[in-house]
Structure 1
Amino acid sequence: MNLTKQLHETALKNGSRTAYYFMGESCTYGELDGAVTKFASALADLGVKQGDHIALLLGNSPHFVISLHGALRLGATVVPINPIYTPDEIAYIVNNGDAKVVIMLDLLVPLAEKMHQSLPTVEHFIVCETLNGQAAQQGDSSISQSSKMKSFTRLLSEGSPHYQGPDTADHDAAVILYTSGTTGKPKGAILTHGNLYSNAKSVSDFLHMNENDIVITTLPMFHVFCLTVALNAPLLNGATILIDPKFSPKEIFKLAKEYKPTVFAGVPTMYNFLLQYEEGEAAALESLRLCISGGASMPVALLTSFEKKFNVVISEGYGLSEASPVTCFNPLDSPRKPGSIGKSIIDVENKIVNELGEEVKLGEVGELIVRGPNVMKGYYKAPEDTAAALREGWLYTGDLARQDDEGYFYIVDRKKDMIIVGGYNVYPREVEEVLYDHPDVIETAVLGVPDANLGEAVHCFIVSRNPQLTETDLLSYCSAHLAKYKVPTSIEFIDELPKNTTGKILRRALRNKLAAK
């Protein structure tokens, strides 16, 4: 079984059930499956074959869902790309990923016209129309001289509803996800049909997702967190997804009042925005049975404040692109531990090891490694990186963690982010947790900076709600709650922390900011 076969099975059994809501419109599983079949047929008519690569430059929309499953039904491999990347970033992924087709927003037509000569592998650009096709007509006229340009709507209308794609094996590549990385060019993690299906199945079973659930899908679909937890897992079990094109607290509360969703998945920054939104009423979220957090560690102070205000449990989990992505979640049928990423999910094994790959004692800090049917096939065209990450069947995550005697895991920090002050290890998250407890701190990020005497020192970026808050105030506060070597030596107030499209804080941008001084 794979994702697109399961979608077809659901359509056969429960074709009248609602698969998604989008911008006030709804679509049944029968209608969605029919669109997927026709789009797969249209791609085949363009000459796309099993094993070819198709890049998606799309936001949250039915276009993304249909394109994803249409490509998978054809046996092609999907390469999701953030549509707001720079031209250079897009060109690198399209070229490195050997994309034969690019499916994109109509707003990106001007960009494609400028870039298409630098994308030698691309044979077709498929433009997804908005505004009921008006933009498509304008787009068609502006690109009429390029035979590479095709209309998504036109292709969909011309596809055969009787198309049957080729058989695919569990080990066949389904998606190549390019990781953002902290240094160098992004690497493409090859996720197979077996990887994606197994992780979606494990997540949906672990979180008890069922056909009565309505899941808010506001995380970016091109990101692996959304792809599995808020898209694949719900559709696998016949649930309904509530597609939100772009996250905003105002829109989330509006959608929640109208559709009564049962599950919300987001990153800590989203929860912070929802908590800080002055017009956000607890009653609007009363239909939620579960909130899911991932993508970054959630400060305990934020978690407890959100749960207290909205009377809903947040299950924090952990994952990474190379693991499709989920490896841990706080279980729903046993105590949730604030600050923990929970226990290993179904069919996935987590372990903490030292530098020699030996398992450490309970409570000791080491590198988190993972194995299971969700672990990637490898990095695309990067055998050395693959060998470094995959060793003896285990995926080395690069994250430092510890495990307690009840099997709960705790992320201490990224291995590369650890600060060494005079020979002592300082984990940024530990300092951030203290700062988040301060009533005037909205957001914070902690980094190491060079120090002539101690090797490194602790530097903090702070977003404050109180313009009168001073560096002296915070240093005094930290001194009362942290060991001396963990106390920041410098604090910088800024209006906003830089974030990527999933809301994850961009430490690399902050490092560049420091380096520019």
Structure 2
Amino acid sequence: MPLSAAVVDPWEERSGGWLIEGYGLSETSPVLMANPVSNGRRAGTVGMPFPSTEARAVDPDNPTVEVAPGERGELVVKGPQVFQGYYGRPDDTAEAFADGWYRTGDIVTISEDGYFSIVDRIKDLIITGGFNVSPSEVEDTLRRFEGVADVAVVGLGSSSNEQVTAAVVVDKGVTLDEAGLREYARENLAAYKVPRRIVIVNDLPKSLIGKVIRRQVKEQLLAKK
């Protein structure tokens, strides 16, 4: 989960230090990349790969195809810190690698100058009408609408044709204009990304670090049906 400037800037102002983000997994011992420890750091990104570490963004459905800078793709990596495989689990190991590249399962974008941004987890992508929808992209759009305090987007229904669904927390004292929210979404998103269903909720389940737990959101919405 990337740190926003709203977190980084006040922390640095009060501490007088730098807040440096990095990224890794248990399978990468555990760090792959980080922001420069300098004024070159870029809040909201996880920086650049460490020396001797290679990283690319590829088509999740065809990991041999690299996506263009700025486009969303699955992060695949190589490096001395990347594990060789899961002990005693050859099938899982084979699934985790593509042509020697470890598939992280994270969706990223890479800027023209090489900074990586974590966007989503592949397991959170919504498949609707044959298209992949990034929940984070839809959430970021809906949060900009007046009256929306927070939102989580999940897919409900068939795993091959899910319904994009938004659980919305409304600002106190505000009556949400749901029609206006849908129109705003249509103006700023491709048609297949617009939520088919909007559900008003009191709050969203979050982890100890404040990250929305989409799995629990999905369970709660299914329970409401």
Superposed displacement of residue 491, structure 1: 1.9
1:105-116 matches, cutoff 5 A: none
| C-alpha distance in structure 2 between counterparts of 1:347 and 1:309, whole Å | 34
Check 1:450–1:488 CA distance in 2 against 1; reply closer, same or farther (3 A cut).
same
1:463-478 matches, cutoff 5 A: 463-470=169-176, 472=178, 473-478=180-185
Please tell me the residue identity of whatever aligns with 2:165: H
What are the Cα deviations for residues 352-380 of structure 1, in whole angstroms up to 9, with x where unaligned? 23314243443343321112222234334
Equivalence for 2:168: 462
What are the Cα deviations for residues 282-315 of structure 1, in whole angstroms up to 9, with x where unaligned? xxxxxxxxxxxxxx244xxxx2333455554654
Check 1:489–1:466 CA distance in 2 against 1; reply closer, same or farther (3 A cut).
farther
What are the Cα deviations for residues 403-460 of structure 1, in whole angstroms up to 9, with x where unaligned? 2221112333222222233344321111111233346444321112238xx9333211
Equivalence for 2:125: 418
- Maintained 8 Å contact 2:35/2:47: yes
Equivalence for 1:342: 47
Superposed displacement of residue 478, structure 1: 2.8
- Maintained 8 Å contact 2:58/2:74: yes
| C-alpha distance in structure 2 between counterparts of 1:365 and 1:415, whole Å | 11
Equivalence for 1:326: 31
Check 1:307–1:366 CA distance in 2 against 1; reply closer, same or farther (3 A cut).
closer
What are the Cα deviations for residues 327-364 of structure 1, in whole angstroms up to 9, with x where unaligned? 22222335444543321134422122331424344334
1:336-485 matches, cutoff 5 A: 336-354=41-59, 355-438=62-145, 440-450=147-157, 455-470=161-176, 472=178, 473-485=180-192
| C-alpha distance in structure 2 between counterparts of 1:504 and 1:337, whole Å | 21
| C-alpha distance in structure 1 between counterparts of 2:107 and 2:181, whole Å | 27
Q: How many residues align?
A: 216
Identity of aligned residues (%): 40
- Maintained 8 Å contact 2:58/2:66: yes
| C-alpha distance in structure 2 between counterparts of 1:482 and 1:357, whole Å | 28
Higher strand share: 2
- Maintained 8 Å contact 1:362/1:403: yes
- Cα RMSD (Å): 3.0
Higher normalized contact order (CA 8 Å, seq sep 6+, divided by chain length)? 2
Check 1:423–1:460 CA distance in 2 against 1; reply closer, same or farther (3 A cut).
same
Equivalence for 1:496: 203
| C-alpha distance in structure 2 between counterparts of 1:436 and 1:324, whole Å | 35
What are the Cα deviations for residues 22-64 of structure 1, in whole angstroms up to 9, with x where unaligned? xxxxxxxxxxxxxxxxxxxxxxxxxxxxxxxxxxxxxxxxxxx
| C-alpha distance in structure 2 between counterparts of 1:421 and 1:372, whole Å | 35
SS of corresponding position for 2:32: strand
| C-alpha distance in structure 2 between counterparts of 1:345 and 1:442, whole Å | 37
| C-alpha distance in structure 2 between counterparts of 1:371 and 1:466, whole Å | 48
Q: 2:7 aligns with which of 291, 302, 306?
A: 306
Check 1:456–1:441 CA distance in 2 against 1; reply closer, same or farther (3 A cut).
same
- Maintained 8 Å contact 2:147/2:176: no
Please tell me the residue identity of whatever aligns with 1:317: G
| C-alpha distance in structure 2 between counterparts of 1:334 and 1:359, whole Å | 30
- Maintained 8 Å contact 1:497/1:505: yes
SS of corresponding position for 1:456: strand
1:143-182 matches, cutoff 5 A: none
Check 1:440–1:336 CA distance in 2 against 1; reply closer, same or farther (3 A cut).
farther
| C-alpha distance in structure 1 between counterparts of 2:219 and 2:81, whole Å | 34
Check 1:364–1:306 CA distance in 2 against 1; reply closer, same or farther (3 A cut).
closer
Q: Taking structure 1 as the reference length, what is the TM-score of the superposition?
A: 0.37
* Long gaps (5+) in structure 1: 1-295
Higher helix share: 1
What are the Cα deviations for residues 178-197 of structure 1, in whole angstroms up to 9, with x where unaligned? xxxxxxxxxxxxxxxxxxxx
| C-alpha distance in structure 1 between counterparts of 2:220 and 2:170, whole Å | 19
- Maintained 8 Å contact 2:147/2:174: no
Please tell me the residue identity of whatever aligns with 2:123: K
Check 1:388–1:423 CA distance in 2 against 1; reply closer, same or farther (3 A cut).
closer
| C-alpha distance in structure 1 between counterparts of 2:222 and 2:2, whole Å | 25
Check 1:509–1:364 CA distance in 2 against 1; reply closer, same or farther (3 A cut).
same
